[in-house]
Amino acid sequence: MTRVRGCSHVTYSYHKTAFMKAYKKYFIKTIEHHFPYKANMLIQKMNIHYAIISKDTSFALASKNPIDKRLDFMAYFLALIKTLDEQQQGFDAIRNICLEVVTDYVQPKNKLHAFLKRIPPKLMNTWLAAALLPVLNKKVSKNNNKEGFIANIITDKEKTYGLGYGIDIIECGICKLFKKHNYEQYASILCEVDKITSELAGLQLIRTGTIAMGAKKCDFRFKRITQ
């Protein structure tokens, strides 16, 4: 959809609705599995929470920092956590349900999808990566919104196990969002998903700490998984 003067709200609403359709079904599926007799009520509560939380992430879809794009998804995740917490579910139960949702969501849906997930690591140390990574670093290393992400891309082979790619998250938009809503103790659950997504790309995640667990930064480093 072309953005024209006076239509920015329509454009935003269109993209937001389209993006929601991509992930919302995974939350609903998991809720229906674990709470079959009150799923409709929980889904309704989750949507009410999301309507409130998403006001704090509305900037993300127009952000020039591409990492911010995931914040709308995380707003729905926080809505799920709030809903489960209100149902007196403990941390472990909430963690398991959250991981079930996101693990299902990130899995390749077909062979082509699985193939595409493994392409980016293959491009590292190529002329294309050398051209694109500095451009990407400029975008992620600053943010006009204090609620968003700030990161640095590392391309030194000696610091990235020869891959030529790593990333340090200096400010985590997810942690900021969860802290704002007094649910920061749950932010670390999302950190566990990084190992899964890395392996799907054919990479082993090596990380010494995360902001959610008290570190000053999240240092993502990777090694290629050899068959």
Please write the tens of the pLDDT for every residue from 178-196: 999 999 999 999 999 999 9
Positive or negative CA dihedral for 221, 196, 212, 149? positive
Read off the pLDDT of each residue in 23-33 and give the average, rounded to a whole number: 94
Top-confidence residue, 109 or 169: 169
With respect to residue 2, please indicate whether it lies within any of the assigned structural domains. Answer: no
User: With bands split at pLDDT 50, 70 and 90, how would you rate the model's confidence at 17?
Assistant: very low
Please report the pLDDT score of residue 116 as a whole number.
85
Which helix (H) or strand (E) covers residue 171, if one does?
strand 166-171
With respect to residue 163, please indicate whether it lies within any of the assigned structural domains. Answer: yes
Q: Which of 20-34, 132-146, 185-199 has the lowest mean pLDDT?
A: 20-34
With respect to residue 118, please indicate whether it lies within any of the assigned structural domains. Answer: yes
Task: Name the residue range of residue 15's domain.
Answer: 8-224
With respect to residue 1, please indicate whether it lies within any of the assigned structural domains. Answer: no
Exposure of 148 by Cβ count < 10 A (0-12 exposed, 13-18 middle, 19+ buried)? Answer: buried
Residue 122 CA from chain centroid, whole number: 22
Only one residue has tokens 């640095």, namely 152
Please report the pLDDT score of residue 73 as a whole number.
93
Query: Number of folded domains in the chain?
Result: 1
With respect to residue 64, please indicate whether it lies within any of the assigned structural domains. Answer: yes
Instruction: Specify whether the CB–CB gap between 141 and 152 falls below 8 A.
Output: yes
With respect to residue 3, please indicate whether it lies within any of the assigned structural domains. Answer: no
With respect to residue 49, please indicate whether it lies within any of the assigned structural domains. Answer: yes
Please report the pLDDT score of residue 21 as a whole number.
58
Residue 159 in 3-state DSSP? helix
